[in-house]
Structure formats: structure tokens, C-alpha cells
A and B are shown apart, each in its own frame.
Chain A
């Protein structure tokens, strides 16, 4: 059986820096078959966990992106009405025949339950955007791993999917849902960890530039912006400066890359008032 170290190494090979705490949580997902709810700020690599887990386990990744108004028809299943109508017209099928699996359109959740060969990884992304009604539906799925279709009966999972849920915490999730999940909070990484991530993901960029950008972003995060930059922004910034042929972060380069870091006019203004030079000098120390 794989152990926690194997998880760390496997994720590392896919370019994801996993600390022991998250590795333990991921390991428990594999071992106990419990869903894992990951919360954290935008751009800290929540979604990435599921993707890397899928490649680590060599499993299929099934993704359900949640949004306001997401309903069962687009999340679980829908009958293929056109095909049903044609079948009635041309082949004079009866009700029993047209409500058979051949007329069923699988949506992500049903697909995850009906996986044939091995456990897939089911990513339910940004669950906090879905309505509470949908959340309630998920409860049945996540505790019994079965889906009931009135016309067909209950479909039970042959292989329990590994479920990763992510949330940006824009609203409180229901207690019942949280109770069924393991929980992990991903915070912004500290300097060393972020350096490791950048080194792993931007191999062609010089180490001096990387260190400066990481330091700069870490300073900016402490400025209390409305949308603080995540790791994704750090990587964007490093890649952009690399593409511009910069080798070190000076005031001019920082100005040019500001758009990668500040994602609103107010945030950009806040950084300007703080003074890019001043932030850079703090980084140098």
C-alpha cells in the first residue's frame, strides 16, 4: 500500500509541492474513501490537487464546475428527449423502452458513479457557487455513492470515486455536507515553499528573478488588497517577466508586471501609493 511519502513524491513528480499535512489528507482520501473539502484563497492550487491526484492514481478525472443555478439535469443526468421522440415516432417504442440506459445522457456525477474499471477522481469545483438545494442533493451522493433515477432505479457505484470538493468560502456550506468530508485549508505558502513551487513550475527562469518576484508578491499580500495575489499570480508574473527577457526585478519591471499581481484598479492604486520602490527595498532586505 502506498504511504504518505509516496503521495508526496508522486505529487512532486507532477510539479505539485505538497506539504505533509495536505499529503496526509490526500492519503486519507485514498485510504478511507472519504471526500475531501479544500478551502482557501483564490489561486493557491485547490483545483490542482484533484488534477494531480488523478494523474498520480492514473485515474480518470471527472470535473463538475459549479455555478449558480446548476441543476440536476446538467450535473447528474438527462434523458435524450430528441432521441426518445424519434424512437416513439419511427420505431413506435413503448414507455418502458424509451426510459432505458440507451436514452440516458450522462452528466459528470452519474459518470463518476458508473465508472466501469477503476475509481475515478471526481472534482466538484467551487461548490460554494451552487445553490443550497444542490448541496442537499450532494449529501446522498457523498454518503452512499448512489444515484436514484426514478425511471431506472438506484445506481450504486461499483468503484467509489475519490471526491475532492473545493470552495472559495463565498458562503457558508451546510453542516451536513461538511460533516461528510475531510477538511483542509490551504493558506498562502511561506517564502521557502513558494520558491519551491516557482522553481518547479518555471524552470527556465533565473533563480534571482524568481526569488525577487516571490518576495515582492509576499510583501504585496500583506497590503490588505481586496484580491490578494495567489500562487497562480506569482507564476504568471515570473513567466511574463521571463518572456520579457528580464533577469532581475527592478522598479520598471515591477511596474510592467503589476497587471499580473493586482487584479483591480483599487488594488493597483493601493500598491502605487505604498510605492513600488519601497516594497522592493523591503524585499531586498
Chain B
């Protein structure tokens, strides 16, 4: 086996989704040189892999590459093609929206529109008021981001005396600690993991909630968002683009099952199996869903509990809580509630902005 074979193998792995870069190529050449021919597989595996996922697929790719004619760019077959769906996210017209009646419109489009719009249920906002709501949403969410970072600054003044710098500052006074220097504690903003229900029953709200998620991404550097209905799709990278319009455009291309059925428990299970490492003690886990689950409620409860064990806070925002007389009686919701730290409404801008209070601590 020559060095160029090893390099070609690295490139082959890269083409198959490995993150192996130049460093790994160099390391693998060194590693192969250091061991005998019978240990090449293991040497390469140690040098090139950097995660369990890569570790698991290494053996197969190794066999494919070293047996038969080497293929530079062969890809693992069976990747599902992405279907462009979810057009309504772009246009802002959810499927099957009931047209607002004239009476509703008259009620809402009155004086001081902003104050009112803020507390109107998303599902009841007439099309004519959409642009106004968009502007308001953008402004308020921006303010919220700003306030969250400001609070963090003030909190940084807590912390003990920094002996090192105290001594430094007082050497000219013979070392007596006259002028104290304090440690400013660097608190990191929480990590956010957002699971957003985009199933049919949520279609009236999903668009606003996606905007909301986008606003949160702007403030929290460590945020991840998934949308789910029957399965889970990671949309974090799409929401990370700065402009809302770009983010929404990217989202329309993703393969989520927009407006499908709901499997909250199943989606959570998938999350726990594949993405649980995103959770840590400083994570706030936010579920945006109405709790209509067609799956098994025990499974939902179990999966949610294992999330709760690993995070600081589980926050469930439910748009239906805006309804009068709403009680969380659906089986899924009832099963989930014991494992939820904060259960709050998410039907209007005002209620979404309240989240700020829960994220502060």
C-alpha cells in the first residue's frame, strides 16, 4: 500500500461524509507507516474517525475501498432525496386556513393596533393585518434578544475576590489588599434546543413559531431547532442565516413532513437516540406543540423524562392554552405534564415574549 493509496482512501471517506481533512490524512499516513500490514485497518480507523457515527461506518467503507477497484467518489447508496415541500412557510399561507370573517377583522383592526395585535391569537389574525404583525414581531423579538444579553452583563458582576489581580494591584502598597479586585463571572447564555411541531393541527401557528425560533437563534449562539410531525428534521442550520427571508426560503427546501400527522413520543425517541448529546445541564429544552399525539402516551412520558434528566429546564409552549377553558386533557399532554417545568401558552406574540422570563434564570 502506497501513501497515495492512503490519501485516496481519505478522500474516498470524505466523499462519503467523513469530516476527515488534511490533518487526518497526514495522521493516517504516519499511522500506517508505524504499524505492520496486519494492523492497517485499525491504525487507519484510529487516525481518521472522530465520532461514533464515523466509527460505525468505517469498516464497511474500508472493505469497499480496499477490495476491488478503488472508486474515488463512490457514495453510500440509499440516501433519500429531498423533496421540496412546505411552500406555505414562504408565502405565509398555511394549508386549509379558515378565512377570517369580517367581524373578526373589524374587531382587530381598530385603534392602537400594535397593543392589540400583540395579544391576538395567531389563528385569528386576518390576512390584512399580517404585515403589521410581521413588523411588530420583528421589533419585539429583537428587543427581547437585546434585553436577554443586557441582563447577562449585569449578572456578571457577581463572583468572588480575584486574589491574583488583587495582589497585583496592591504591590505598590506593600501587598496589603486595600483595593480589592473582583472576578467577573462569565456566564454563558443557556443552550437552547427547540422542538417545533409542524403537524396539521399546528399549521395555523407553525409559521409564527418558526419566526420565533429564528429570533431565538439570533441571540443564542448555541441553539438547535428541530421540526417534527411524523419524523424529526434538524433545521438549525437553516434558521441560522441572518435574514428571516433567507431562513424561510431555506426551510421550504427541507424534507420535513409539513402538516402531516403527529408522533411526539416517536420524534422525542428519535431525538434521544440521535441527538441527546446536544443536551446538557445548561440547556433549556423547548417544545412548541399542541400536545395532540397519535402515539403511545407512556412512550412520550418516558422519553420526555429522559430529556428532563439531562437538562436544566423543560419548557412546553402550547398554542391551545390561549383558548378559554383549555385544559391539558389530551392523553399525550396529560402524560407529558409531570415532566415539564414550565407550561405556558404560545398563541400570541405577547405570550411568546413571556418566554423571556423563563430563559433568564
Contacts and interface: CB of A to CB of B under 8 A. Distances in A.
A235 interface: no
A155 interface: no
Interface in A1-45: 3-4, 20-25, 27-28, 31-32, 34, 36-37, 39
Contacts of A226: 306
A180 B23 contact: yes
Contacts of A192: none
A180 B23 CA distance: 8
Interface string A232-255: 000000000000000000000000
B133 interface: no
Interface string B30-54: 1100111001011101111111101
Interface in A29-73: 31-32, 34, 36-37, 39, 68
Interface in A75-107: 79, 81, 84-85, 88-89, 92, 94-95, 98
A182 interface: yes
B148 interface: no
B52 A89 contact: no
A134 interface: no
Contacts, number: 110
A282 interface: no
A98 B19 CA distance: 47
A39 B52 contact: yes
Given A68-B281, A81-B163, A170-B277, A3 B36 contact: yes
A24 B50 contact: no
A24 B42 contact: yes
Interface stretch (B78-86, B167-175, B239-247): B167-175
B171 A185 contact: no
A24 B51 contact: no
B69 to A, nearest CB: 27
Interface in A167-207: 169-172, 175, 178-185
Contacts of A36: 46
B282 to A, nearest CB: 8
Contacts of A81: 163-164, 167
B280 interface: yes
A170 B283 CA distance: 12
A269 B111 CA distance: 61
Contact of B42 (A20, A95, A266): A20
Given A88-B171, A88-B174, A28 B47 contact: yes
6 contacts: A21-B42, A21-B45, A24-B35, A88-B171, A128-B277, A183-B49
10 closest cross-chain pairs (CB), A and B:
A88-B175, A24-B42, A178-B50, A25-B46, A21-B42, A185-B55, A81-B163, A182-B46, A24-B39, A31-B34
Interface of A: 3-4, 20-25, 27-28, 31-32, 34, 36-37, 39, 68, 79, 81, 84-85, 88-89, 92, 94-95, 98, 128, 131, 133, 169-172, 175, 178-185, 226, 266
